[in-house]
Amino acid sequence: MEVKYSVGRDIIFMTMRSKIIKSGIERVPHRALLYATGIPRSEMGKPFIGVATSFTDIIPGHIGMRDMERFIEKGVHTGGGYPFFFGIPGICDGIAMGHRGMHYSLASRELIADMVETIAEAHQLDGLVLLTNCDKITPGMLMAAARLNIPSIVVTAGHMLSGHYKGRRLNLTSDMFEAVGKYKKGLIKADELQALEMCACPGAGSCQGMYTANTMACVTESLGMSLPGCATSPAALAQKRRIAFDSGVKIVEMIKKNVTPRKIMTRKAFENAITVDLALGGSTNTVLHIPAIAHEAGVELPLEVFDHLGRKTPHISNMIPGGEHYMEDLDYAGGIPAVLKRLKDNLNPNPTVSGKNIMEIAEEAEIMDENVIRPLGKAYHKEGGIAILKGNLAPDGAVVKQTAVSKNMMKFEGKAKVFDSEENGMKAIMNGHIKAGDVVVIRYEGPKGGPGMREMLSPTAAIAGMGLSESVALITDGRFSGGTRGPCIGHISPEAMEGGPLAILKNGDKIKIDIPKRKIDVLLSDDEIKKRLSQWEKPEPKIKKGYLSRYAKLVSSAGKGAIME
């Protein structure tokens, strides 16, 4: 059925999904309920736009979203649509870190995707504006957009500005998580620690470096699913309000033109996003999230793509935690459009939600700071941020952020100290039981074993803070925060809970890591490995009830993006 409605002086004819809840005599009860919400009769013929907002008072990156909602709403009305807001939950990974709460973080990604799908399908919404910011909310919303394949645009709410203390800039990881290890070692005093915790995070926004939230914002823009400039525009500034408004206008245009996510999120788009991620030295969590989004979009994206692109993509922006530049520096340097301009010869032509091809955006961009976004010939590293390692310890792969590893630790051999949980590993680190030459092994923390594949920022930051990152490695079937730096290898697959080789390691086993050769091995004979595997007994699940129990039964390995099967 065609619905006729006016936008200013223009008359647009289109077929809308929402007609099924508002057109025809049999929909009188449905219209009565819609009118109960306060919608005027004059607006009923307009496209219904769902605004999935993840506002919450407990995540710093989301506390400013009420303001963003207002400008999205204004934009939708200006564009000729009618908005309906619905809430999506979120978890702050920093607050959930290091305790039972982190089991829920990755698992929440699937809930978020399912909830967006559920609301959009139950009410037959015509399009979606996805208001997000932090770690698992952004990939969950992108997964939903790809699955639903109705016009969708993402608005990431922006990063936090840097903190300041005694003339120096502060960020969450190197100035707070690592401060725990420094205090434990006596390098800083209690009064300084207390002063830092009041200054490091000055207000609204995602944490200040190229951690997971900001990496995913950059990935989203590079995919073509948010407007140019969205990823690096700081929270709470006028620029971010205008992007929110423009996104509200744009979603109505996308419905008119039937621009759907799968027309944008193609294999070429995913390769572009990975290339930008590698050039920026982004979080290793993208190795979980990008394949999961691609899976929902019907795009095959094996783990090897990251390594293939990584070998030919130079690392051109030295962002914290491994480098020196903050997200605000990247924004002042021209943001993602400027990064695209620098990488233009490495990218694929592909459409975006802006209506422009990604190559047009790159061509029109200006690079404002040659040090923040370096020329390819003067890159910080010849290869991109992420490397995929394999070997007898990780037959299906493991992940390391190689640009956050010092030159001296790119090759390392040490003796295993094995722990069956993050808590036990952290206790040993804080009690001084980890020494130079050790390889800390934290296992049974994968998607199934955790369950939920907890992030290991607390132990890795403690190792760095205690001055051990040049002499100690950490390996796990869990994952790392985007704030992790040093020789930390995660996502080891198959995980220990699936009977992977990590499960049969013993204290004192020698482990050899060679990042340039993409190798990680335990120095045991094949016969010894087979013998130990034959004797291994699967432990009881750590959590036996509730959502996490169900999640553990359905989730796949990290090598497949930890998707639900």
Q: Which helix (H) or strand (E) holds 553?
A: helix 546-554
Can you spell out the DSSP letters for 307-336?
HHHHHHS-B---BTTTSSB-HHHHHHTTHH
CB within 8 Å of 237: residues ≥ 6 apart: 158
Helices vs strands, H then E, count in the chain: 22, 16
Q: How far is CA 306 from CA 80, 236, 553, in A?
A: 41, 34, 28
For the record, the structure tokens of 269 come out as 């788009």
Helices (H), 80-136: 93-96, 103-122
Is the bond preceding residue 395 a cis peptide, omega within 30 degrees?
A: no
Beta-strand pair 48-53/82-87: parallel
CB within 8 Å of 214: residues ≥ 6 apart: 159, 206, 207, 231, 232, 327, 482
Q: Which helix (H) or strand (E) holds 441?
A: strand 438-442
Spatial distance between the Cα atoms of 354 and 312, rounded to a whole number of angstroms = 28
For the record, the structure tokens of 103 come out as 């089991």
Among 408, 411, 492, 484, which Cα is nearest to 449's? 492
Q: CA gyration radius for the chain?
A: 24
- Core vs surface per residue 10-38: b (16+ CB within 10 A) or e: eebeeebbbbebbbeeeeeeebeebeeee
Spatial distance between the Cα atoms of 484 and 467, rounded to a whole number of angstroms = 14
Side chain identity at residue 434, one-letter code? I
**Catalytic-labelled residue, pool 222, 226, 354, 481:** 481
Q: Are 426 and 462 in contact (CB under 8 A)?
A: yes
Helices (H), 134-280: 137-148, 172, 178-184, 190-199, 212-223, 238-257, 261-264, 267-280
Q: At what angle do helices 212-223 and 267-280 cross, to 10 degrees?
A: 140
Spatial distance between the Cα atoms of 265 and 295, rounded to a whole number of angstroms = 11
Among 262, 338, 341, 343, which Cα is nearest to 309's? 343
Q: At what angle do helices 238-257 and 65-79 cross, to 10 degrees?
A: 40
Spatial distance between the Cα atoms of 284 and 307, rounded to a whole number of angstroms = 12
CB within 8 Å of 71: residues ≥ 6 apart: 241, 242, 244, 245, 248
Asked about 233 being catalytic, the answer comes back as no
Query: Catalytic residue positions?
Result: 481
